[in-house]
Structure 1
Amino acid sequence: MTATGRPATRRQMLAGTGALGLGIAFSGTLAELFAGTAAAQTTGHAGYGPLVPDPKGVLDLPEGFRYRILSREGDPLRSGEGAVPSNHDGMSAFEGRGGRVHLVRNHENRHNGRIPVPAVEGLTYDPAAKGGCTALTLDSRNHVLSERVAIAGTAVNCAGGPTPWGTWLTCEENEDKAGTNGYTKDHGFIFEVDPVDPRRTGAVPLTAMGRFQHEAIAVDPRRGVVYETEDAFDKPFGLFYRFLPERPLGGRGSLRAGGRLQAMRVPGVPDLSTIQDIGAAFDGIEWVDVPDPQAARTPIRLQDFGRRGITHAQKLEGCYWGGRSVYFVSSFARTGEGSAADHYGQVWRYDPERRRLTLVVVFGPDTDVQLPGESPDNICLAAGGGLMVCEDGEGAQHVYGVTRRGEVYAMARNRQDIGSPEEPEWGEFAGVTFSPDGDTMYVNCYTPGTTFAVTGPWRR
């Protein structure tokens, strides 16, 4: 909230969370990034300069930047396993040998998805499900060396997150049980994917991590605790979870050993949307054991957490670890859909050592849907400092950046019109990530499914 008590006109950035600007090594966490910044101003010339219209009508970028299309839905997979699946979503980049980069890419296909992930023996969980992941291997110049199925037979693979040991955890944003929508197995799980050799991990659900509408995860690199967001579609909305592994930081396959799933309770706060004051902090955060992580009869968010209840939030999406804290995103909240209050996007920080939850960023409101500024989704640290954020909103679709000074600028605009001349429409961006050396930004266009490699003067 501003000093007048009204919501900020674009974004309010947190100042005074203990980070003191130059005294803090830039780690990519939002609290440190925006410390001392009163507000971020959107201008056409912040960051790397204005976007230059692409004569091919595909992707607008600032001058000096260029893109390479790595993969498009419907094209043949280089492995010969079938076509490149549709609905490109969450993604991460992993370092390979000899300057190679391994990309793992989610495909958020539902039971009626356009182009399914091809079923491959040994990598398929449920032959009736159309989602999954594909893996690309690139050389140092972003030429595609291989492209293959990494896991198949999963449902609505939305986001996920990397592990400290170099694997990808892909999340099913779905909780259909066997017999629903033609599925032959229960869904709503996390699966581990090895980006180098997916057969090392196979298609094994990590059932102890819960069965619900998963969105994203982040791993505490010191303790091995895995934090999980739930993007439930209807009220009561999703929960924020932590998973305490039996074998923390045990490497590939260690999460199969099981553990304990807990949900976050903020004392006195049943719905996070009611908190609108930037810097609002809550100590003594509680973690409550989930009664039935498998949701055998009742979805977890509907289960009995005792007389004190549990804390919900609408559209819990992006999740990542930075510094000593985990950050998670609520893309928006709407009272018309059941939330207790409205907002255009929040970013929360949880410090496990202090057991403190802090609201660090509030987005909007904003009525100009042609500019970035609402419904934040995937977030990653940019190569030259600051952040890159995929906006999941209305109208024109952007990847936008936020500089260390708090300036907000458009980094890319999708020009692939999937609408009509009367009602143009552009697919959202997803899965923004950077190569290990920071020289390339990889990002997906959800529809039509397209994976880009963007290079240019990132360190300018």
Structure 2
Amino acid sequence: MSVTRRQVIARSGALGAGIAFTGALSELFEGTAAAQSALGHCGYGPLVPDPNGLLDLPEGFHYKVLSREGDQLRSGEGQVPTNHDGMSAFTGRHGRVHLVRNHENRHSARIPVPTIEGLTYDPAGKGGCTALTLDSRNHVLSERVAIAGTAVNCAGGPTPWGTWLTCEENEDKAGTNGYTKDHGFIFEVDPADPHRSGAVPLTAMGRFQHEAIAVDPHTGIVYETEDAFLKPFGLFYRFLPAKPKGGLGSLRAGGRLQAMRVPGVPDLSSIQETGASFSGVEWVDVPDPLAAQTPIRLQDFGPKGITHAQKLEGCYWGGRCVYFVSSFAHSAEGSAADHYGQIWRYDPAKRTLTLVIVFGPDTDIQLPGESPDNICLAPSGGLMVCEDGNGAQHVYGVTRQGEVYAMARNAQNIGTDTEPEWGEFAGVTFSPDGRTMYVNCYTPGTTFAVTGPWRR
């Protein structure tokens, strides 16, 4: 099938040994006025240019800027750091909402996360998290450091017990780039009182280029993605906690880290058809989770090997399955095949992996189409996905029927009039009541609250 725009979600396929295909429910969007009309019918309508040049939204939706890089933190601890990335919203007391926001700062970051006593892991680390507390009208009541001294805090994910797991997309050891401690860990953050969680690495969950996590609320198993865009590519992991009932600090008790093996599939990029389904998925113990000598993706997983994928990024739990994203694959960089973004679904009960969405090339910069990144479940039951590709950058939705629509477009041009450029979106999440979508513009670091007729 010729795909000029994208193929989208397929109905669940028949299960069995090896690979099974079903008829894919596909929507092909050309870069035409008709395509814009199609998006409008399956979403909230066409995007309206923002006269303030910040965020384009459908008619009836409105945004509020909650925080921008370089402003002063309301706590007085310093400036709002750069590189706003993964984020999640948590229920607070008296109708309040706690937002925990990652800052993907490397050692050369322009505005680092301020180091705070009791919240700093490595004083040489420039990354970390900040936490905002909002009232029911999205007024910012407080903004402060939640964890500091970490490195390249990319994404992460919420836990069923109401904490945030922030992930370092970095595996530098002490002595590299000025760091005084090893990096590449997950840290737990209490959104209401960060000093309760401190800055303790969850070492049993592995040391690698972490991207995102999702927790199975039924078993406590934590799924983890590894964002490695150079070969050998990253792995998809699960962590079996010693204390599966959870609770703040429970993950410090340790557990087993395993990597996913799909029999007969060494590279997920080789699968191109939506609806392709694989049964009998295996999980293999990681030989050395701390990667003392060898990065995990290079370790020996036995004669059957292990399954890799380029740019494993977003991860989210929905229903009884975990969804995860491969942002892109380039054969010129070593992948088995090229694609512009995939979303996979793993069903733990059936041990089945299914390719549910394949995104197509970005042929029209006014429409979304490539390099999906952060992902979350929308109140409607569909998905919201942040785009991190070329051209215009969008938050786009995927309905339960498989339709893709544009929800937001970044209007902040960080390039020039003749060569425009827009920063990626990150950290899309919804308030506990489903009435507000929160999302970050990575650069210039900006956190938005978006309200409107979500129930429509």
TM-score (norm 1): 0.93
- Contact 1:221–1:249 (8 Å) recurs in 2: no
Q: Look up the equivalent residue of 1:406 and give its one-letter code.
A: G
Contact 2:362 2:390 in 1 (8 A): no
Q: Relative to structure 2, which stretch is displaced further, 100-109 or 347-356?
A: 347-356
**Other-structure match for 2:367:** 371
Q: CA separation in 1, counterparts of 2:172 and 2:366?
A: 36
1:219 to 215, 219, 242: 215
Farther-moved stretch of structure 1 (49-58 vs 102-111): 49-58
Q: Is 1:43–1:408's contact at 8 Å kept on the other side of the alignment? A: no
**Counterpart for residue 262 of structure 1:** 258
After TM superposition, the structure 1 stretch with the greater mean CA deviation from structure 2, 55-64 or 287-296, is 55-64
Does structure 2 conserve the Cα–Cα contact (< 8 Å) formed by 1:40 and 1:406?
no
Tell me, yes or no, if structure 1 residue 75 matches structure 2 residue 71.
yes
* Alignment-derived partner of residue 175 in structure 1: 171
1:64 aligned to 2:60? yes
Q: Does the Cα contact within 8 Å between 1:194 and 1:200 map onto a contact in 2?
A: yes
1:105 and 2:98 are equivalent in the alignment: no
**Which residue is equivalent to 1:89?**
85
Paired amino acid for 1:359: L
**1:300 matched residue in structure 2:** 296
Does residue 425 in structure 1 map to residue 421 in structure 2? yes
Mapped partners of 1:38, 1:417: distance in 2: 33
2:13·2:277 contact (CA, 8 Å) conserved in 1? no
Where does structure 1 lack aligned partners over 5 or more consecutive residues?
A: 20-34
Aligned length: 442
Q: Say whether residues 1:206 and 2:194 are aligned partners.
A: no
Q: Distance in 1 between matches of 2:396 and 2:452?
A: 16
Q: How far apart are 1:249 and its partner, in Å?
A: 2.3
Deviation at 1:306, TM superposition (A): 1.0
Whether the 8 Å contact between 1:58 and 1:414 is mirrored in structure 2 is yes
In the aligned structure 2, how far is the partner of 1:436 from the partner of 1:51? 25
Letter matched to residue 271 of structure 1: D
Query: 2:229 — aligned with what?
Result: 233
Pick from 308, 312, 319 the counterpart of residue 315 of structure 2: 319
C-alpha distance in structure 2 between counterparts of 1:36 and 1:139, whole Å? 44
Q: 2:32 corresponds to which residue?
A: none
Structure 1: how far apart are the matches of 2:147 and 2:333? Answer: 34
Instruction: Give the match for residue 27 of structure 2.
Output: 39
Match of 2:19 in 1: none
Deviation at 1:49, TM superposition (A): 1.4
Change in 2 beyond 3 A, CA 1:225/1:130:
same
Structure 2 equivalent of residue 189 of structure 1: 185
Offset at 1:61? 1.2
Question: 1:127 — aligned with what?
Answer: 123
Q: Distance in 1 between matches of 2:263 and 2:381?
A: 35
Unaligned runs of 5+ in 2: 16-22, 30-34
Match of 1:398 among 375, 394, 397: 394
Distance 1:17 1:96, change over 3 A: farther
Instruction: String of CA shifts for 1:368-410, please: whole Å, max 9, x gaps.
Output: 3432011111122223443221111111111112234433222
> RMSD in angstroms over aligned alpha carbons?
1.7
Q: Over residues 411-458 of structure 1, what are the superposed CA-to-partner deviations in whole Å (9 max), with x where a residue is unaligned? A: 111111111222111111100111011111100000000000011111
Partner SS, residue 43 of structure 1: helix
> Relative to 1, partners in 2 of residues 1:18 and 1:8: Cα closer, same or farther, differing over 3 Å?
farther
Partner of 2:20: none
CA distance in 1, matches of 2:399, 2:237: 30
More divergent stretch after superposition (278-287 vs 234-243): 278-287
Alpha-carbon distance in 1 for matches of 2:131, 2:98: 7
Cα drift, residue 56 of structure 1: 1.1
The verdict on how the C-alpha distance between 1:301 and 1:400 changes in structure 2, with shifts beyond 3 A counting, is same
Q: Percent identity?
A: 81
SS of structure 2 residue aligned to 1:165: coil
Matched, 1:117 2:113: yes
Alpha-carbon deviation of 1:8? 6.3
Q: Which deviates more from structure 2 when the two are superposed, residues 327-336 or residues 397-406?
A: 397-406
Deviation at 1:38, TM superposition (A): 3.5
Does 2:405 align with 1:412? no
2:328 is aligned, of 327, 332, 353, to 332
Q: Work out which of the residue numbers 432, 436, 440 in structure 2 matches 1:436.
A: 432
C-alpha distance in structure 2 between counterparts of 1:16 and 1:251, whole Å: 34
The structure-2 alpha-carbon separation of the partners of 1:449 and 1:399, relative to structure 1 and needing over 3 Å to count, comes to same
